[in-house]
Structure formats: structure tokens, C-alpha cells
Amino acid sequence: MLIARIFTLYPEFFPGPLGKGLYGKALDKKIWKLETINIRDYTTDKHKTVDDTTYGGGSGMLIKPDVLANSLDKNLKSKERTIYLSPKGKLFNQKLAKDLSKEKTVNIICGHFEGIDERVIEARNIEELSIGDFVLSGGESAAFVMLDAIIRILPGVLGNEKSIEDESFENGLLEYPQYTKPQIWEKKTVPDVLLSGDHAKIKDWRLSQSEAITRVRRPDLWQKYKKN
């Protein structure tokens, strides 16, 4: 069972969509477990102050190192993987999702304001990851994205686990086009090869489509694919 532990200022965001559908069923089956830690509960003053101004000036506020460290130290066990969602982190991808899905526990820190004090990152061996080159108002929505990608990989979550093997990024390429009934829709037909029953030809067609789409839409992925 994977334990996903979220450190947040807004625990009411969770479980949200993660408690419904496939993920809700997986929760009931104890395939994974969600724990939310309210960072505010680990303040030491009567006003429950979690942030303060930055040294050196600037308009933003930072989550205080003593408060965040206290919340981590009271809940983490040794050698558990801990992630801080940050725009300057390493880019999260499918490979990292598969890697994290093998952990027993994944701790995710949701930042706010201008982020968190750098000393906590260094002192607690925190890994920084980013879901893309953009800035969000808080880490909760990024945590949803990351957990969605991780949980669906866990055995028993998807009805057809073989479908994971054919998805985008699994072989370094974007996914090929897919079609279903009706065979003719608005005068558009399904490609003949998919109706042929020839599995070798279908496999070749799908690969060629994936390659063509990746080459046009994601030249960065295409270059990596050609090198492998």
C-alpha cells in the first residue's frame, strides 16, 4: 500500500477528486492511503503564524522554517521520500511517476506565497519537483496532478493494467490516434488498417503514427527517442 502524505495549509482540498471513481475504489481496497497534515497545527504562537517576510527584501512571504520543519519531524519516518513542489524543481514526468509509485510512502509539501525557506530543503533532504514551466498560487493543484499520475500506476487501480503500456511517454513517444464506434461519423471513417485484423500491420501503423505526432508536436521528445 502506498501512503501519500500531504503537507498543506489547506487540508480541505483533499481528498477531492482523488476520493472518487477509480481512486476512491482503490482507497477502499487499501491500495493507497491519503494523509493530510495541516502545517498550521505546528505553529507555536497564538496567532498560528506560518509565514514571514523575506530577508533581503521583496514583496512575497515565505513559510517559516521552524513551523514547516516541526510538521515534518512530527510525521515523517527516516528515509521516506519527501517532495517539495516548486517551479525550480526537476521536471516531473512519467518515469518519475513510475519511480514514485514503487515507494511505500511519498510525502508532498504544498508551498504557498513565495515558497519555503531554503534551509528546510537543505536540512531535511527534500527533493524539488515541478509539473511544468508555470507558476501556481499553491501546491495543492500540483499535488493532485502528481498523485493522479502516480496512483493510476499502482497494481489494481486500473481495470485493464495493460493499457498503461500503450500510453504516451511509455516508449518515449506520444500516443497514436484511437477510434471507436460508430465506424463512420460525420462522413469520417476509421482508418482501414484498424479494421483489417492484421495485428502486425496495426502495430506498425500505430508506431508510425506515434513517431509522426511526436516529431511534429514534441521535437524535444523526438530527439531523445532517436538517440535511444
Range of the domain at 178: 168-227
pLDDT of residue 31: 96
Same domain, 136 and 179: no
- Calpha distance 65→120 (Å, rounded): 6
pLDDT of residue 162: 61
Same domain, 78 and 133: yes
Of 32-36, 95-99, 164-168, 204-208, the least confident: 164-168
Same domain, 20 and 127: yes
Q: Is the pLDDT of residue 44 over 80?
A: yes
In a domain, 156, yes or no: no
Mean pLDDT of all residues belonging to the chain: 92
In the structure, what pLDDT confidence band is assigned to residue 218 with cuts at 50, 70 and 90?
very high
Query: Over the stretch 50-105, which tens digit does the pLDDT of each residue have?
Result: 999 999 987 789 999 999 999 999 999 888 999 999 999 999 999 999 999 999 99
Question: How far are the Cα atoms of 73, 82, 94, 166 from residue 128, in angstroms, in the given order?
Answer: 18, 9, 16, 29
Cell of 10: 489547506
Same domain, 115 and 214: no
pLDDT of residue 18: 87
Q: Is the pLDDT of residue 168 over 60?
A: no
Mean pLDDT of 13-21: 89
Same domain, 12 and 114: yes
In the structure, what pLDDT confidence band is assigned to residue 161 with cuts at 50, 70 and 90?
low
In a domain, 62, yes or no: yes
| Range list of β-strands (E), 100-225 | 105-109, 127-130, 184-185, 188-189
For the chain, the domain total comes to 2
pLDDT of residue 164: 61
Q: What is the CATH number of the domain that holds 101?
A: 3.40.1280.10
Same domain, 95 and 17: yes
CB 35 within 8 A of CB 71: no
Same domain, 222 and 173: yes
Same domain, 85 and 137: yes
Same domain, 172 and 137: no
Of 12-26, 116-130, 153-167, the least confident: 153-167
